[in-house]
Amino acid sequence: MDIRIGIFNSPREIGFETSRPATEIEETVAAALAGKTGYLKLSDDKGKVYIIPTAGLAYVEVGSESSRRIGFVA
C-alpha cells in the first residue's frame, strides 16, 4: 500500500510503501494526532523508519490495498 505524507511549508512529500493494512495506518495516525508524543512514527517495507512531528502534518494519504498490475491489460 502506498503512503504519502504532506508536510506544511515543504514543496515535497514523503512517499513510501508498506504492507501494513489501511486500518492500522489510520489508527496510528489518529493516535499520533490525539496523543501527547507529538510525532507520527511509521515504517516501510525496506526497514526505514519515518518520524514526523504532528505539528507539521498537512495530510496523510493512504492508498488502496490492491496490488498494481504489471504489463498490458487487454
Residues 18-36: tens digit of each pLDDT: 989 999 999 999 999 998 8
Below-70 pLDDT ranges, the chain: 65-69, 71-74
Q: Does the residue 17 lie in any domain? A: yes
Rounded distance between C-alpha atoms, residue 4 and residue 17, angstroms: 9
Domain that holds residue 41: 2-62
Contact of 1 with 23, CB cutoff 8 Å: no
State the total domains in the chain: 1
- Residue 70 inside a domain? The answer is no
HEC-encoded secondary structure of 28-72: HHHHHHHCCCCEEEEECCCCCEEEEEHHHEEEEEECCCCCCCCCC
- In-domain check, residue 72: no
Q: Is the dihedral of CA 25, 3, 67, 49 positive or negative?
A: negative
